[in-house]
Structure 1
């Protein structure tokens, strides 16, 4: 996530997102990218909501011993994402590449933490495969004449040493497709996040959630005119209202069916079951109160104060599903946004609140 000036490049000052460059898939019939245990690797940021959705899917599908992971430092400078120096933290259990991400306890204060901090297993990991210093090195290895931005996530093929895909929505579909099921953890009951009977509903929700909420907070925060900002932030909250209505209807139905005590654990966007629609919404909502309210000026309301059902849904996702909780690092989220966008926050001061980062269930 680079500085806003590199993103908001339209004449009216509105934010335009770059189209991903690598769009291959993995399948048994693919001439190059075939399924295999230990062949593929994820490069992610714990701060980035787009990368976050791939980490959650990796855990939900039981693929933590199948697909390794490396985590970039939370700070993005003018050269983009970077890794910790080679040899630092490669064996740290918090970021064991063949296991799940186990985010460390959140700091009570970030005073003294600088953009140059290299706390092994806390600020990130090295590049476990090549010892590269920068994410850009992977892009140049895959395509020496690459000229676009260096984004996360990356799904990397260790066999051909190239990028398979760097579009998060397609990566989570690859991981969900079943191509790795034969290698998955037998203790995990792999969940189909896009069941055929619900696919049209999932796609419909994904479309407006992406445009007006996932990307809407960025269009608000990186707006370069008052007119554009007001239009975009209004759209964000109009669609949060829409979400609140959907979840209110679902909650009432769950109360009737299961009773109030068990209704919260059944609260999802579609049919009382966890689907891709929930997974794609979560990374934005969990970041909303900690960073988007103040950093992106999405401050017409907080989630916890203004959206009772969305907040209950969020707490259900976080506290009742370890795949969501274990991949959420509020430290990385807060530090990245507040210290990587000098045009928005020139003094790089990281707010302490809200406390707690997420309310108890």
Structure 2
């Protein structure tokens, strides 16, 4: 054969009995094409080298490979970049991801974590497209974790729609939206999963910070409200404050108060108090939600008063029991 193994200017090289043609795609991947040394002539080798040079990004002869990324690959790269921001890196997303238009308009951020959710990226993306009428980005993060960025209009409606009922708080609209999305996913695949959502924001300004808040919200929600699957940052202000208290101080507060923490280990008591506080200490509504007679609920509340000396039907005692209950949940999880 005419192959010259000593040729220094060649873009290819021979190792063993194979000719290697290295190719760099301009992103993160280095690719090597190989062919048997005995199946290629020097002229053919030079032609292949010339072709690969023309394919290199920036050569102008062929569209760079970055434009051929699928939507899923593009979002996977965006997700990897975003996770790096939470580890101390900084900067803007790679320009070849073509995200500048999406990141410079108001978006509603949602975080979906599905420990038992059996759905592929394409299936979930298709479902979101059917649920939302505007632009939506589905960004894979960790295993079974997705960031969803939905256009503000697709979630809250256009200005004309919002003008019809300007008194309806944005938080209520977002809560209803998250509940609707949860039911849609649950009906499609089932499994255990959680959703957090926050108010519209401009991703270009602080997307890593928004993701961090959503993750913290899911963590606190699953810790303090184990029976719920929709977690909202504006409903977890007290929980966020208590979680920031050092563990030793939380333990001391519970012990110094003198309340028997064993009371909170009873599932029925926990359920009763959680529902009672969730419904603003309304006895009638709590009894309906728990499917028990009103007198049964009063009996349970009297029992709590007898064992703790605190009557949760009064404001001050209700606040104290609420704090102790939340602190107990945090301490128990450690």
TM-score scaled by length of structure 2:
0.26
**Bigger strand fraction:** 2
Greater relative contact order, per chain length (Cα 8 Å cut-off, separation 6+)? 1
**Bigger helix fraction:** 2
TM-score scaled by length of structure 1:
0.25
